């Protein structure tokens, strides 16, 4: 009961400090690109070029053909890659979040638990740009038009945010004391990319081995984007996947929150 009350208070804090969070998110997003010569346009150029390269490679170069469901390989790959980019980049930048915003911890009464959340919202801006790019490509090149299933995008975005919140709290708090955490996360991200059915279909696994895919919570997100934009499948049609994902995500969320709460009292001493 106490934990639930704490979660409610945290959500209310986000709402009350939404203006501060908005300012910090925009500043964080801007700082990623303003140091370069071109500046903010890089936020649009990089995602657009990435999408173009994958589309061109698997349409004219590698000619990936179609999946077993009759979906062209290029959009099948791109649609799953977009959420993975959001997940992987957020995990990486979250490691240094507390160190980057050390001035907020030392000089203000700002709720430090919101700092990793800022990184998630900042990454979400680029994610929306990527989604806009793929929607444009799906409609005007592949002839795949919007359906009612596309509203699931917001559900999977919410699921991604909950999962990333727990991970961001965990890695950012530990990284304050263990600097090797960032290197460890890079390794994990690389391993998860190949372990998650992004460039290979999970149907390649036979029998009980297919359940291996379920052990990876990111599979739920990447496959969910395919269900939404390409395969016309509702998320609630897979009860087992939903139950497993939300139980595992809930565990990660709680572990991350508890770890952050326990370690944050010592942030000021280390920073």
Q: What is the pLDDT of residue 63?
A: 54
DSSP, collapsed to helix, strand or coil, labels residue 145 as coil
What are residue 66's DSSP bridge partners?
72
Contact 173, 260 (CB under 8 A): yes
CB 269: neighbour CB atoms within 10 A? 7
For the cut 80, the answer to whether the pLDDT of residue 22 exceeds it is: no
**Predicted local confidence at residue 149, as pLDDT:** 94
pLDDT at 60: 64
Q: Which residue has the higher pLDDT, 116 or 59?
A: 116
Domain boundaries, the chain: 2-270
What gap in Å lies between CA 107 and CA 57, rounded to an integer?
50
| Residue 264: per-residue pLDDT | 82
- Nearest 5°: phi and psi at 223? -70, -30
Checking if the pLDDT of 125 tops 70, the result is yes
How is 68-125 classified by DSSP, letter by letter? Answer: TTS-BHHHHHHHHHHHHHHHHHHHHHHTTHHHHTHHHHHHS---GGGHHHHHHHHHHH
Question: Residue 191 has which token pair?
Answer: 């391993």
pLDDT single digits (tens) 210-267: 777 777 899 999 999 999 999 889 998 888 889 989 999 999 998 998 888 888 887 7
């Amino acid at each position: 009961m106490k934990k639930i009350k704490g979660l409610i208070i945290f959500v209310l804090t986000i709402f009350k400090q939404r203006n501060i969070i908005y300012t910090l998110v925009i500043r964080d997003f801007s700082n990623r690109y303003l140091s370069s010569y071109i500046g903010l346009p890089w936020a649009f150029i990089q995602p657009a070029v990435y999408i173009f390269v994958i589309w061109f490679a698997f349409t004219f170069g590698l000619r990936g053909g179609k999946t077993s469901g009759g979906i062209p390989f290029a959009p099948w790959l791109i649609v799953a890659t977009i959420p993975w980019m959001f997940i992987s980049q957020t995990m990486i930048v979250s490691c240094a979040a507390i160190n980057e915003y050390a001035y907020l911890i030392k000089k203000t009464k700002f709720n430090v638990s919101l700092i990793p959340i800022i990184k998630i919202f900042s990454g979400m801006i680029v994610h929306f740009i990527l989604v806009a790019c793929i929607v444009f490509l799906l409609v005007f090149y592949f002839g795949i038009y919007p359906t009612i299933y596309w509203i699931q995008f917001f559900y999977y975005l919410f699921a991604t945010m909950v999962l990333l919140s727990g991970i961001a709290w965990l890695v950012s708090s530990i990284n304050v004391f263990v600097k090797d955490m960032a290197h460890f996360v890079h390794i994990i991200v690389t391993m998860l990319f190949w372990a998650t059915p992004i460039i290979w279909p999970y149907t390649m696994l036979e029998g009980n081995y297919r359940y291996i895919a379920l052990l990876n919570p990111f599979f739920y997100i990447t496959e969910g984007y395919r269900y939404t934009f390409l395969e016309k499948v509702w998320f609630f049609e897979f009860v087992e996947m939903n139950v497993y994902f939300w139980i595992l995500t809930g565990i990660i969320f709680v572990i991350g929150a508890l770890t952050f709460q326990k370690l944050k009292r010592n942030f000021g001493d280390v920073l």
